[in-house]
Amino acid sequence: MKILVTGGLGFIGSHTVVELQNEGFEVVVVDNLSNSSEQVVDGIFSITAKKPLFEKIDLRDKKSVQELFQKYNDILGVIHFAASKAVGESVENPLLYYENNVTTLVYLLQELQKLPKAHFIFSSSCTVYGQAEQMPITENASVQKAMSPYGNTKQIGEEIIEDVTKVSEIDAILLRYFNPIGAHPSAAIGELPIGVPQNLVPYITQTAIGLREQLSVYGADYPTPDGTAIRDYIHVVDLAKAHVVALQRLLQHKNKDKVEIFNLGTGTGSSVLEVITAFEKVSGEKLNYKIVGRREGDVVAAYANTDRANSVLGWKAEFSLEEALASAWKWEQKIRS
Ligand code: NAD
Ligand code: WQD
């Protein structure tokens, strides 16, 4: 059973390729290496003893996308990770984001629309909820006006998929990730942020390893128990496994609707200070940090109600925050050694 994974050498994509191969799927990875490296293929091989087929293609090139589907005319499902994901960069260069995140989606769906049947899984984000009124956040919470062009590409992406499934034989699952962190326990694959990390956990591990001097904690005056903002940090391996389960649901025609939406989180919120404390505990390192002002655009709290994913997909996050942080630390130590 051949599955196309776009962005399959990236952070979440590579972990998903591992889980797909572990479940016996044959994987074709498409990636333009804009935010990853071909060595990730070796990392995947070292875990699964199997190399995915790899096509270095830029999905912005419509002709290449068409040729891809001509070459592989037996693709049963597509998991679409490829996108640009830096919120700040999207504010500075919105068209780059609309082109890379929206145009590429359209090109893929145009090819899938030609097939007698197609199954599609889309990487969406909890960012679509903005600051939700109620915690934990259910899938029925309303989608808020996007706070960045990046966030908007996820909302537009969801709408495009909703529209096309109404008039085609494509069915889809939209997965709204909360905050993915960590690395494969083997430390053969993990997150490779380019430049200064924007996300909390890679910033923590890079500070602990001595690459950054100090972590800035953005705001300790939020209306939360310790004043720092709350998120739902989910181990990337748990997230990857959810993709396999979602894909199997579509392949086995178990889906009730042409488009289904699932939150992927642990269901537990952790504050920035709680993450720092947990990191210090698992790493044995003292973290140099200071409290600074709030970061523009940050929400106070976001954590998932995972009931739907638990009951409908039969999936539940298994790793603890400590385990996820330990794996991120192991990965950081490995890549700097
Ligand atoms: P990533 O940058 O590590 O992986 C994306 C991969 O896509 C990279 O390997 C990159 O080279 C590739 N890519 C980008 N543009 C491409 C193009 N035009 N053609 C071919 N390949 C291209 O990112 P990630 O963290 O693994 O995120 C995967 C998906 O999940 C993205 O859609 C992202 O928006 C979404 N998401 C991520 C997070 C997060 O915090 N990491 C949270 C919610 C949603
Ligand atoms: C987590 C918490 C920060 C860095 C972003 C995107 C979102 C999604 C996931 C893709 C916040 C605090 C962070 C630092 C800090 N991506 N922080 N010092 O902001 O929840 O979500 O990534 O869809 O769209 O916006 O994640 O890891 O950046 O921040 O204090 O150096 O850590 O203020 O409270 P965020 P994050």
Q: Considering only CA atoms, which residue is closest to atom 27 of ligand 2?
A: 199
Residue 271 near residue 228 (C-beta atoms within 8 A) = yes
Could you state, in order of their start, the residue ranges of all structural domains in the chain?
Answer: 2-181+234-265
Within 10 angstroms of residue 199's Cβ, the number of other Cβ atoms is 15
Q: What is the pLDDT of residue 71?
A: 98
Q: What is the pLDDT of residue 95?
A: 98
Fill in the amino acid letter for 274: E
Q: Report the C-alpha gap between 236 and 214 in whole angstroms.
A: 25
Residues with Cβ within 6 A of ligand 1?
A: 7, 9-13, 30-36, 58-60, 81-85, 100, 104, 123, 125, 177, 180
Q: What is the pLDDT of residue 1?
A: 86
Q: Report the C-alpha gap between 218 and 227 in whole angstroms.
A: 10
The topology (CATH level 3) of 2-181+234-265 is Rossmann fold (3.40.50)
For ligand 2, say whether the CB of 283 is within 6 Å of any of its atoms: no
Give this prediction's pTM. Answer: 0.99
How distant, in Å, are the alpha carbons of 90, 99, 116, 290, 299 from that of 149? Answer: 5, 11, 34, 29, 16
Q: Per DSSP, what are the bridge partners of residue 310? A: none
5: left (phi over 0), alpha (psi -120 to 50) or beta: beta
For ligand 2, say whether the CB of 206 is within 6 Å of any of its atoms: no
Which residues are part of the catalytic machinery?
150
Where do the DSSP E strands lie in the chain? 2-6, 26-31, 53-56, 75-80, 118-125, 170-177, 179-181, 215-218, 230-231, 233-235, 259-264, 270-271, 289-292, 301-302
The two beta strands, 26-31 and 53-56, are parallel
Closest-CA residue to 170 (of 282, 36, 77): 77
**DSSP summary character for residue 120:** E
d(CA 220, ligand 1 centre) in Å? 30
Three-state SS at 176: strand
Tens digits of pLDDT across the chain (337 residues):
899 999 999 999 999 999 999 999 999 999 999 999 999 999 999 999 999 999 999 999 999 999 999 999 999 999 999 999 999 999 999 999 999 999 999 999 999 999 999 999 999 999 999 999 999 999 999 999 999 999 999 999 999 999 999 999 999 999 999 999 999 999 999 999 989 999 999 999 999 999 999 999 999 999 999 999 999 999 999 999 999 999 999 999 999 999 999 999 999 999 999 999 999 999 999 999 999 999 999 999 999 999 999 999 999 999 999 999 999 999 999 999 8
Three-state SS at 162: helix
